[in-house]
């Protein structure tokens, strides 16, 4: 029996549902998801392995014009995914497609030549059925997509069709990862992401974008089925530190409680989580600090 394997980049503007789509295709939560744009900061590999194929999906930060060094690194991750991919899946928000189509002609200039590019017209659960065909026609006029698949990452509609279409275009080859792998990232990375997800859910405006999370300690006690985790939340200003901690530590406590539930579900046993907040002025624009924090 022949086997197919390849890399598939999931790209698009912020908040079009790339991470939700990845999670839906994998059948489990891998990438963090919040209603805020630019939640994803890294290139994250999600691995789907079945009897006759392996797809390595690359979830990427939303395509933007960078304003500071962190965003420059984020766009470097997205561009690397585009050029590593055997297939590119460009995701468009059907509920806001008119605006996105205006940007498509510019964004499509970054698509690598010779690589099949699909359009996943996402969030079709939010539009009327008779609006979908005109959107497909309009998108085809802007860029010659190899395939266009209307989907809903949230409800799962047509995700199987998208998977099957991807498999048709995959090159013959061998698996890149063992069949039980779901990502190339380790638990420490996903723990830091879960804490950051809770920060994005809890706070408004600029505060979440000025934060990052570093796992300082991650160890298991042999005599107890418990993992001890010490995490540092970095902010850029002293005023932001006060917001994250909250009155009498209430906000930080809530972040810890909600994060711990998600982390225990990820790890599969009890977790003792300690959170600390530190100010690192201008970390988003400091390339050395970004590199040390894993943004490289």
Domains of the chain (ranges, CATH numbers): 4-169 (3.40.50.300), 187-292 (3.30.300.20)
Which sign, positive or negative, has the C-alpha torsion 115, 142, 163, 152?
positive
Which sign, positive or negative, has the C-alpha torsion 70, 76, 82, 85?
negative
- Residue 33 to residue 197: CA distance in whole angstroms: 7
What burial class does residue 179 get, using C-beta atoms within 10 Å of its C-beta: 0-12 exposed, 13-18 middle, 19+ buried?
exposed
Q: pLDDT by residue (tens digit) across 13-34?
A: 999 999 999 999 999 999 999 9
Helices and strands in the chain, H and E counts: 9, 9
Residue 226 falls in which region: left (phi positive, over 0), alpha (psi -120 to 50) or beta: beta
Are 52 and 2 in contact, with CB atoms under 8 Å apart?
yes
Question: Which residue's entry shows tokens 């590119």?
Answer: 88
- Residue 291 to residue 287: CA distance in whole angstroms: 6
Are 231 and 274 in contact, with CB atoms under 8 Å apart?
yes
Q: pLDDT by residue (tens digit) across 108-127?
A: 989 999 999 999 999 999 99
- Residue 73 to residue 100: CA distance in whole angstroms: 23
Q: Give the per-residue SS3 of 25-63.
A: HHCCCCCCCCCCCCCCCCCEEEEEEECCEEEEEEECCCC
What is residue 218's predicted lDDT score, i.e. its pLDDT? 95
What is residue 38's predicted lDDT score, i.e. its pLDDT? 92
- One digit per residue, the tens of pLDDT, for the chain of length 296 reads 799 999 999 999 999 999 999 999 999 999 999 999 999 999 999 999 999 999 999 999 999 999 999 999 999 999 999 999 999 999 999 998 777 788 888 899 899 999 999 999 999 999 999 999 999 999 999 999 999 999 999 999 999 999 999 999 999 999 999 999 999 999 999 999 999 999 999 998 789 999 999 999 999 876 667 899 999 999 999 999 999 999 999 999 999 999 999 999 999 889 999 999 999 999 999 999 999 999 98
Are 109 and 151 in contact, with CB atoms under 8 Å apart?
no
Q: Is the model's pTM score more than 0.85?
A: yes
What is residue 179's predicted lDDT score, i.e. its pLDDT? 94
What is residue 222's predicted lDDT score, i.e. its pLDDT? 64
H-only helix segments in the chain: 18-26, 69-84, 97-107, 132-142, 159-169, 187-202, 238-245, 250-267, 287-292
Beta-strand relationship, 53-59 and 44-50? antiparallel
What is residue 223's predicted lDDT score, i.e. its pLDDT? 62
């Amino acid at each position: 029996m022949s086997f197919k394997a390849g890399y598939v980049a999931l790209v698009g503007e912020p908040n079009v549902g790339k991470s939700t789509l990845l999670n839906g295709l994998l059948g489990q939560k891998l990438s963090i998801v919040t209603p805020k744009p630019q939640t994803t900061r890294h290139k994250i590999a999600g691995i789907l392995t079945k009897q006759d194929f392996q797809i390595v999906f690359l979830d990427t930060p939303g395509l933007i014009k960078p304003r500071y060094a962190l965003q420059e690194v984020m766009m470097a991750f997205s561009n690397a995914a585009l050029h590593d991919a055997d297939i590119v899946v460009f995701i468009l928000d059907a509920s806001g497609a008119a605006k996105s189509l205006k940007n498509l002609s510019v964004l499509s200039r970054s698509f690598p030549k010779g690589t099949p590019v699909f359009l996943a017209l996402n969030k079709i659960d939010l539009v009327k059925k008779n609006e979908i065909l005109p959107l497909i026609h309009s998108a085809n006029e802007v860029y010659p997509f190899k395939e266009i698949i209307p989907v809903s990452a949230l409800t799962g509609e047509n995700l199987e069709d998208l998977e099957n279409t991807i498999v048709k275009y995959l090159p013959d080859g061998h698996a890149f990862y063992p069949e039980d792998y779901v990502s190339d990232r380790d638990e420490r990375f996903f723990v830091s992401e879960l804490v950051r997800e809770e920060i994005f859910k809890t706070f408004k405006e600029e505060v979440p974008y000025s934060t990052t999370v570093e796992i300082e300690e991650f160890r298991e006690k042999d005599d107890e089925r418990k993992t001890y985790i010490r995490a540092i939340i970095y902010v850029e200003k002293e005023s932001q530190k006060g917001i994250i901690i909250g009155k009498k530590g209430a906000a930080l406590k809530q972040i810890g409680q909600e994060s711990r539930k998600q982390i225990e579900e990820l790890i599969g046993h009890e977790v003792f989580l300690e959170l600390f907040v530190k100010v690192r002025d201008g970390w988003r624009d400091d390339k050395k600090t970004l590199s040390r924090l894993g943004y490289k």
